[in-house]
Amino acid sequence: MSVGMAVAPVPYGCDPARSRGRRFNEPPSRYRSPFRRDCDRVIHSTAFRRLKHKTQVFIFHEGDHYRTRLTHTLEVAQIARALARQLGLDEDLTETLALAHDLGHPPFGHAGERALDACLKAHGGFDHNAQSLRVVTELERRYPDFDGLNLTWESLEGIVKHNGPLTDKSGKPVGRYREHGVPVGIAAYVQEHDLDLSTYASLEAQVAAIADDIAYNAHDIDDGLRAGLFTVDDLNVVPLIADINARVSARYPSLDETRRGSELVRELISYLIDAVFAETGRRVTVAKPKSAEDVRNFDGVLAAFPAGVAREEAAIKSFLWERMYRHTRVVRIMRDAEGVVADLFNRYWRIPGDLPAEWASDEQDSETGRARRIGDFIAGMTDNYAILEHARLFDSTPDLR
């Protein structure tokens, strides 16, 4: 089989005809599968549109050509669909999960998340994955019969578990949640609608998760080059990148720096997609899943990089951490951005009347309920709205450039 060709659906992929359904019953669509309908609902949501002005690495006004959460999300979706097509998985479910994976991110990327987590420490903290679930189950209010988007069980499961199980069979938190427990937004929701937190997610969700890794490694290289934080040749300290650069230079010895960078990114994406396709096929052959339930109950992830490629991918992340995410310019801006988020939270906490009327606390709210309401409001802000709100409420607002 040639990579890139569509293949017949596999028995261990998610079949929309066998979906576990929606929390609130709705008549089926005559023209769209349940998963296609989920995807369309995400695309038409307010939270999805707001990703246009939310930071990936660079604040939105630093330049029109840098990625935002929206453009990152679209690139993840493209890679995820390509993998799903090659593997015979449901493309619509895969795309839904790729498009929804960052809906809960606050303004200013991970800096905003760190700030909100600190502000909400006494009230359960903040986790963007849990916030994504809250967006699609509660905070989007577009329909007359329910809050949220009423997505299928498979979409909700994938949003929550795309990085693996959150608990063991006994309900004890595992992995990244071992120390602080399952995030409050997820823990509260599954009391009403069980998402089987102790199992892996579908292969569609696993593919969306690894597509995220591929996308941000590649486009962060592209953005870092554009920002002048490093050069194409600086990247040669990563052996995989050095090999790709050597091949590009052999084919195009007179290529300018901009095109060299673009060709590097293109080659890297293709290499990583091919690697995931090969390794996932190998693992599936060994595991022999006969259904989506077999994928969920398998003792390990099936969509993955081969071990050698995983080490190469980790080396790329290490380079970007040192040369981009920890660059003095980026660190300074993100520190200021954290301050903006903290200032807003503390202001709304001290002076609730500064919140819009629709976000004002209910008289029956506990302190935790009030704090989380403020957190929901800030998490939904775009970068530019957060900056404008700060300028409205404070005498001095940092210039995040």
% residues pLDDT > 70 (the chain):
96
Domains of the chain listed by start with CATH number? 209-328 (1.10.3410.10)
pLDDT digits (tens, 9 = 90+) for 93-119: 999 999 999 999 999 988 999 999 999
* Local confidence band at 133 (pLDDT 50, 70, 90 cut-offs): very high
The CA–CA distances, whole Å, from 193 to 187, 188, 233 equal 10, 9, 51
Q: How many residues does the chain have?
A: 401
Our separate counts of H helices and E strands in the chain read 16, 0
- Write down the pLDDT at residue 349: 96
Angle, CA 108 vertex, CA 148 and CA 217 arms, to 5°? 95
Of residues 199 and 365, which shows the higher confidence score?
199
Could you give phi then psi for residue 68, rounded to 5 degrees?
-110, 175
- Amino acid identity of residue 90, one-letter, is D
- Write down the pLDDT at residue 196: 97
Tell me: pLDDT of 143 over 90: yes
Residue 42 · residue 100 · CB < 8 Å: yes
* Local confidence band at 170 (pLDDT 50, 70, 90 cut-offs): very high
* The model's pTM: 0.94
Helices (H), 202-327: 203-226, 239-251, 257-287, 292-297, 307-320
* Local confidence band at 272 (pLDDT 50, 70, 90 cut-offs): very high
- Write down the pLDDT at residue 231: 96
Tell me: pLDDT of 2 over 50: no
Tell me: pLDDT of 144 over 60: yes
How far is it, in rounded angstroms, from Cα 284 to Cα 279? Answer: 9
Q: At 159, which helix (H) or strand (E)?
A: helix 153-161
pLDDT digits (tens, 9 = 90+) for 353-397: 999 999 987 777 899 999 999 999 999 999 999 999 999 999 999
- Write down the pLDDT at residue 61: 45
Task: Count the neighbouring beta carbons within 10 Å of the beta carbon of residue 115.
Answer: 26
Residue 144 · residue 198 · CB < 8 Å: no
- Write down the pLDDT at residue 47: 97
Average pLDDT of the segment spanning 276-281: 98
